[in-house]
């Protein structure tokens, strides 16, 4: 992310934040150092979640996941409020869509009609285990329905917030993400333990990355079902 955007020189001016999870905005501090003048942008509801995660209650969580990478105090850079629904980029319109439920509520996506592309944040995943810890069955159904809204845009490219680096941005990840959500919802009703959920999901998705996230999701689902 901190390499100069190319292939020809560009000035990085704005960095759009699709949702409030720290792994999607904590890097603003480093980007601001590397690209002076670059500004993070977020909708009001996303910014509210960012401010929550920027507080002391979440500091230990992100440091445990990203040791040595989490800025503290005055080093922390938060996005600014985006008041419009579009961003102009060299004459191209970037449309911000408040999609709602993804792996967290109040998520957004960006549609770039001129490229036939949708940047989905954490709405769609690309062969990486999906973070379902903030969802129950109802939220996952809504999440899958929101993926239908992406499909309805007819994109040629679907960019996931989490992906295997070697993968392209094939729109097939929309359906794959929906199927994963359905499989997870079924498995958590059939297994009594987090370990059982993990084993079943790994069996179903043996090549998908980020087992840490799967364990986190499975433990949370088991606790929710247990009451």
Answer yes or no: do 101 and 144 share one domain: yes
Domain that holds residue 148: 84-227
Domain endpoint, select from 29, 50, 83: 83
Q: What digits encode the pLDDT tens for the residues 106-140? A: 999 999 999 999 999 999 999 999 999 999 999 99
Task: Give the residues of the chain that fall short of pLDDT 70.
Answer: 1-9
Check which CATH number belongs to the domain holding 172 and give it.
Answer: 3.60.15.10
Do you know the residue count of the chain? 227
Cα–Cα distance, 17 to 108 (Å, whole number): 8
Answer yes or no: do 117 and 27 share one domain: no
Place of tokens 């329905």: 145
Cα–Cα distance, 180 to 214 (Å, whole number): 12
Quick check: is 163 in a domain? Answer: yes
* Residues facing residue 15 across a β-bridge: 40
Quick check: is 117 in a domain? Answer: yes
* Nearest alpha carbon to residue 107 among 17, 221, 22: 17
In this structure, is the dihedral angle defined by the CA atoms of residues 2, 40, 97 and 116, taken in order, positive or negative? negative
Residue 112 tokens read as 């770039």
Q: What is the pLDDT of residue 1?
A: 43
Chain centroid offset of residue 79 CA: 16
CA geometry: angle at 54 spanning 49 and 58, to 5°?
A: 95
Quick check: is 197 in a domain? Answer: yes
Domain endpoint, select from 83, 106, 138: 83
The number of domains in the chain is 2
Answer yes or no: do 204 and 142 share one domain: yes
In this structure, is the dihedral angle defined by the CA atoms of residues 176, 118, 78 and 6, taken in order, positive or negative? positive
Domain endpoint, select from 83, 102, 128: 83
Answer yes or no: do 219 and 161 share one domain: yes
């Amino acid at each position: 992310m901190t390499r100069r955007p190319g292939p020809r020189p560009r000035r990085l001016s704005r960095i759009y934040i699709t949702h409030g999870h720290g792994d999607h905005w904590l890097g603003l501090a480093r980007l601001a150092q590397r690209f002076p003048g670059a500004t993070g942008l977020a909708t009001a509801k996303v910014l509210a979640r960012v401010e929550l995660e920027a507080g002391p209650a979440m500091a230990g969580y992100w440091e445990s996941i990203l040791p040595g990478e989490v800025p503290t105090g005055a080093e922390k850079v938060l996005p600014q409020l985006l008041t419009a629904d579009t961003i102009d980029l060299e004459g191209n319109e970037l449309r911000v869509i408040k999609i709602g439920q993804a792996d967290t509520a109040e998520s957004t996506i960006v549609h770039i009609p001129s490229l036939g592309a949708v940047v989905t944040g954490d709405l769609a995943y690309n062969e990486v285990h999906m973070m379902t810890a903030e969802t129950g069955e109802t939220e996952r159904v809504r999440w899958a329905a929101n993926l239908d809204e992406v499909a309805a845009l007819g994109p040629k490219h679907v960019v996931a917030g989490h992906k295997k680096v070697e993968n392209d941005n094939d729109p097939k990840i929309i359906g794959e993400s929906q199927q994963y959500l359905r499989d997870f919802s079924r498995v958590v009703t059939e297994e009594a333990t987090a370990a059982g959920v993990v084993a079943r999901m790994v069996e179903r998705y043996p090549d998908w990355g980020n087992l840490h996230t799967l364990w986190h999701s499975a433990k949370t689902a088991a606790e929710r079902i247990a009451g």
